[in-house]
């Protein structure tokens, strides 16, 4: 856990990397981790390295307007609402956390969940192998879709709002204006 503490080399690298993004050229920033910061599956709870990483890195990701944080490790699919510091926030005010650990493996799927579901849980599926698709539509909106492998249509689909714009940092103001893209959850 030493590697993910505040002001560690790993933290300094991530901070410098995020600071160096020219948002006029790269309006969207996504992060990728192995262990999920948010996971309501009963498997892989309380893992020290993931908890330490979340404690150190989550505020940095939120402050830099990271739109979504993708992880695997847990052999299921789960998507959160936007979350900051363990609390659900309005769309565009924090990252969405997506676990796409359901691609297939020798251990099988994990389909046991903590109940009741936390307020930040938006959708979860541990009974199907699947994959995701991310389509950036413009500087403020992207479409995330999750599809079970045995289907051709999305089972979970949501428009992501770019926190960089909606937090006021990206020049787009706040609140989602009329950009020609419908907002909100498509199917859940």
- Residues assigned a catalytic role: 44
Question: To 10 degrees, what angle do helices 48-63 and 9-19 make?
Answer: 30
Whether the Cβ atoms of residue 25 and residue 139 lie closer than 8 Å to each other:
no
> Would you state the structure tokens that stand for residue 123, as one six-digit string?
């959708």
Whether the Cβ atoms of residue 107 and residue 133 lie closer than 8 Å to each other:
no
Q: Alpha helix (H) ranges present in the chain?
A: 9-19, 48-63, 163-166
Task: For residue 173, give every residue at least 6 positions away whose Cβ sits within 8 Å of its Cβ, in sequence order, or none.
Answer: 165, 166
SS3 assignment, position 15: helix
**CB-based burial of residue 47 (10 Å sphere; 0-12 exposed, 13-18 middle, 19+ buried)?**
middle
């Amino acid at each position: 856990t030493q590697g993910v503490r505040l002001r560690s080399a790993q933290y300094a690298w991530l901070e410098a990397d995020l600071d160096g993004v020219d948002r006029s050229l790269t309006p969207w920033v996504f992060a990728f981790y192995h262990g999920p910061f948010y996971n309501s599956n009963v498997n892989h709870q309380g893992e020290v390295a993931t908890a330490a990483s979340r404690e150190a890195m989550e505020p940095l990701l939120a402050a830099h307007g990271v739109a979504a944080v993708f992880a695997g490790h847990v052999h299921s699919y789960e998507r959160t609402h936007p979350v900051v510091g363990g609390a659900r926030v309005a769309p565009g005010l924090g990252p969405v956390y997506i676990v796409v650990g359901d691609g297939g493996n020798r251990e099988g799927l994990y389909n046991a969940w903590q109940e009741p579901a936390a307020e930040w849980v938006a959708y979860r599926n541990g009974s199907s192998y699947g994959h995701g698709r991310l389509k950036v539509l413009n500087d403020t909106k992207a479409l995330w879709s999750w599809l079970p492998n045995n289907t051709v249509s999305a089972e979970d689909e949501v428009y992501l709002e770019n926190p960089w714009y909606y937090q006021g940092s990206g020049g787009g103001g706040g609140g989602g204006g009329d950009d020609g893209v419908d907002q909100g959850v498509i199917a859940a």
